[in-house]
């Protein structure tokens, strides 16, 4: 129950982040015991690059504390969507924080929003949608891969955010979104190989009063096909954006300055 609200102390069952270095973080479930391959319950000892941690020692500790590992130390942090994106078990390609911040901004997601998403994938983006729509909004997320939908459901439940999300196992290109969602959505988001096929379904799902649509595409041809489908179905203000993180490079240049005193002297 660690994603739902801000917490001071760690409880058994929380998902926490072990922060060793900026590039070495681990998400772990705080379970005193786990089942081994033989099916027996054994003490849960988590291995990191900086040594082992007896997971039960985390229970009752304050979030943000420094924790001893057998060969070093780390900080134990409360999980956030940003930290989860960096540590989650990948089932698919995922969307990362820089793109996600633009997606949330452009879709105008806020508490109370109803959002439709497909595919769920590894649930990276879903966690941000859920945080943004809480406590009165809802995320409806669709994937045609059954294993991924079940894994996402299990994660949302163990993260204490399952009240704000419904996961559907469904091919949205072939079948569209659920009929009961027609006219319900403030925003539809697609991360699919052929998003243009789902555009008419997205139109049905959006509120009659208007709504926003966004599709994430790793290649320009996909993006072009989607833009064409959007224009065909009457969408307006269609834009393509790319989020690039660029480091500012400061160069020092000396520019010769005109000596006005010298020029004045020469002229007179």
Bind-site residues for S-adenosyl-L-methionine: 122-125, 143, 191
Candidates 75-83, 186-194, 205-213, 249-257; binding stretch for ligand SAM (CB under 6 A):
186-194
Q: Is the CB of 17 or the CB of 192 nearer to ligand SAM?
A: 192
Q: Tokens 């660029």 identify what position?
A: 246
Nearest distance in Å: CB 93, ligand SAM: 4
How far CA 55 is from CA of 5, 25, 59, 195, in Å, comes to 22, 15, 8, 43
Q: Which stretch binds ligand SAM (CB under 6 A): 37-45, 75-83, 103-111, 142-150?
A: 142-150
Of 48-56, 180-188, 190-198, 236-244: span binding ligand SAM (CB under 6 A)? 190-198
**Contacts to ligand SAM from residues 87-106, by CB under 6 A:** 92-95
| Residue 192 engages ligand SAM in binding (rule: CB under 6 A) | yes
Q: Which of 63, 115, 123, 226 binds ligand SAM (CB under 6 A)?
A: 123
CB 75 within 8 A of CB 64: yes
Under rule CB under 6 A, residue 155 binds ligand SAM = no
What's the chain's length in residues?
A: 268
**Is residue 151 near ligand SAM by the rule CB under 6 A?**
no
Which residue among 19, 129, 142, 164 contacts ligand SAM (CB under 6 A)?
142
Q: How far is the CB of 152 from ligand SAM (least distance, A)?
A: 9
Task: Map 43-71 to HEC letters.
Answer: ECEEEECCEEEEHHHHCCCECCCEEEECC
Interacting residues of 234 by C-beta distance below 8 A, sequence separation 6+: 203
d(CA 143, CA 158): 20
Q: Is 192 helix (H, G, I), strand (E, B) or coil?
A: coil
- Is residue 93 within 8 A of residue 115, CB to CB? The reply is no
Strand 72-78 relative to strand 66-69: parallel, antiparallel, unpaired? Answer: antiparallel
Nearer to ligand SAM, 173 or 205 (CB): 173
Q: Does 124 bind ligand SAM (CB under 6 A)?
A: yes
Phi and psi torsions of 134, nearest 5°: -55, 150
Binding site for ligand SAM (CB under 6 A): 92-95, 118-119, 121-125, 142-145, 148, 171-173, 191-193
């Amino acid at each position: 129950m660690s994603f739902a609200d801000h917490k001071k102390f760690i409880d058994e069952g929380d998902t926490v982040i072990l922060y060793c270095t900026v590039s070495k973080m681990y998400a772990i479930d705080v379970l005193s015991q786990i089942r081994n391959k033989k099916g027996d319950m054994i003490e849960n000892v988590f291995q990191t690059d900086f040594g082992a941690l007896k997971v039960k020692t985390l229970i009752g500790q304050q979030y943000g504390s420094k924790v001893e590992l057998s060969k070093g130390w780390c900080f134990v942090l409360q999980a956030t969507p940003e930290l989860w994106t960096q540590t989650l078990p990948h089932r698919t390609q995922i969307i990362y924080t820089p793109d996600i911040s633009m997606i949330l901004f452009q879709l105008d997601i806020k508490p109370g929003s109803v959002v439709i998403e497909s595919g769920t994938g590894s649930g990276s983006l879903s966690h941000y949608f859920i945080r943004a729509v809480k406590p009165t909004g809802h995320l409806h997320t669709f994937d045609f891969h059954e294993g991924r939908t079940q894994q996402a459901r299990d994660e949302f439940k163990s993260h204490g955010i399952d009240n704000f999300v419904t996961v559907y196992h469904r091919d949205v290109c072939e079948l569209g979104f659920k009929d009961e969602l027609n006219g319900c959505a403030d925003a539809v988001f697609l991360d699919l190989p052929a998003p243009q096929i789902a555009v008419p379904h997205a139109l049905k799902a959006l509120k009659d009063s208007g709504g926003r649509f966004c599709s994430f595409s790793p290649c320009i041809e996909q993006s072009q096909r989607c833009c064409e489908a959007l224009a065909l179905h009457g969408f307006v203000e269609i834009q393509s954006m790319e989020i690039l993180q660029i480091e500012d490079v400061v160069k020092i240049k000396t520019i010769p300055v005109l000596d006005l005193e010298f020029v004045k002297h020469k002229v007179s």
